[in-house]
Amino acid sequence: MATSSILFFFLLGGLTVAVAAHGTANDDTNTIRLPSDGAKSPKMPTEKRPWKCCDDIEEQPASIFPPFWRCNDELEPSQCAAQCEVCQDQEASPGRLICGDVYWGADPGPFCTPRPWGDCCDMDICSRSLPPICRCADEVESCAAACKDCQQLESSSSSSEPPRYVCHDWFRGEPGPSCTPDEHKHADPVDLTTKDLEKGWISSEPDCSGILARRSSY
């Protein structure tokens, strides 16, 4: 009799744990869904990049090469369903989804938003963060159309030479390839403060540590 009672309590405990685990799994999968097929769990990393472009790209912390990538861009449900196996709800942005797929490869793809200074830059100012926060200090005849803070150089305003301009926008991402062949890949480091990043800032949480000027080598 005592043996039967002990066995009953073990079975009852196991059933309680199973029910609790089942409820937890359901709670988790409720926030991950594929609009066309209902709830699904995240899949293993894929070697085929799900997105064509991504502004908010995140490199996963695993120490592996090629690395794992995830795109945190907020998408319309139809956009996410067309690109990704798994789409994840955003509590902060109801009705918007992010791709839950993880890509395994060396090239996470291009940015969707164009760089403020154009496709290339010879003298960029970047942070050490990944992805870096960058500004291009190239002096140009005219700023790119995407530049919001285009300033004329004071020296050129009093010169007989055509005016030169610099785009002061900041951009979260790599600065792009060099526009012209250069002999020096890196310039001397410069010190910047948070005030230097206030204009044209894109990220809500700037990392101002270890910002330096360098010649692009991308």
Given 3-state DSSP classes, what are the helix, strand and coil percentages for the chain, each rounded to the nearest 5?
20, 20, 60
User: Does the pLDDT of residue 33 top 50, yes or no?
Assistant: no
Check whether residue 88 and residue 119 sit in a common domain: no
Residue 2 exposed, middle or buried by CB count within 10 Å (0-12, 13-18, 19+): exposed
Q: How many domains would you assign to the chain?
A: 2
For residue 214, what are the domain limits?
113-218
Contacts of 111 (CB under 8 A, 6+ apart): 53, 54, 55, 173
Check whether residue 126 and residue 79 sit in a common domain: no
Check whether residue 162 and residue 84 sit in a common domain: no
Check whether residue 41 and residue 76 sit in a common domain: yes
Which of helix, strand or coil describes residue 78?
helix
Closest CA to 171 of 206, 210, 218, 215: 206
User: Does the pLDDT of residue 1 top 70, yes or no?
Assistant: no
Question: Which residues share a beta bridge with 166?
Answer: 151
The answer to whether residue 29 is domain-embedded is: no
Q: What is the structure's pLDDT at 57?
A: 86
pLDDT tier at 85 (50, 70, 90 boundaries)? very high
- Range name among 9-18, 58-67, 169-178 with the lowest pLDDT average: 9-18
Q: What is the structure's pLDDT at 34?
A: 43
Contacts of 59 (CB under 8 A, 6+ apart): 67, 68, 69, 108, 130
User: Does the pLDDT of residue 75 top 80, yes or no?
Assistant: yes
pLDDT tier at 116 (50, 70, 90 boundaries)? very high
Check whether residue 92 and residue 121 sit in a common domain: no
Check whether residue 100 and residue 44 sit in a common domain: yes
Maximum distance among all alpha carbons in the chain?
Answer: 106
Contacts of 150 (CB under 8 A, 6+ apart): 143, 165, 166, 167, 168
Are 89 and 76 in contact by the 8 Å Cβ rule? The answer is no
Residues 7 and 200: their CA atoms lie apart, in Å, by: 68
The answer to whether residue 19 is domain-embedded is: no
CATH number at residue 87: 2.10.69.10
| The amino acid at 142 | S
Domain boundary among 104, 124, 145: 104
* Of 47 and 191, the one with more pLDDT: 47
Residues 138 and 126: their CA atoms lie apart, in Å, by: 13
The answer to whether residue 17 is domain-embedded is: no
Check whether residue 86 and residue 163 sit in a common domain: no
Check whether residue 129 and residue 75 sit in a common domain: no
Check whether residue 144 and residue 211 sit in a common domain: yes
In angstroms, what is the C-alpha Rg of the chain?
A: 25
Which of helix, strand or coil describes residue 88?
strand
The tokens 């695993």 sit on which residue?
62
User: Does the pLDDT of residue 27 top 90, yes or no?
Assistant: no
Are 127 and 197 in contact by the 8 Å Cβ rule? The answer is no
pLDDT tens digits for range 135-188: 999 999 999 999 999 999 987 666 678 899 999 999 988 888 888 865 334 444
Q: What is the mean pLDDT of the chain?
A: 72
Domain boundary among 62, 85, 104: 104
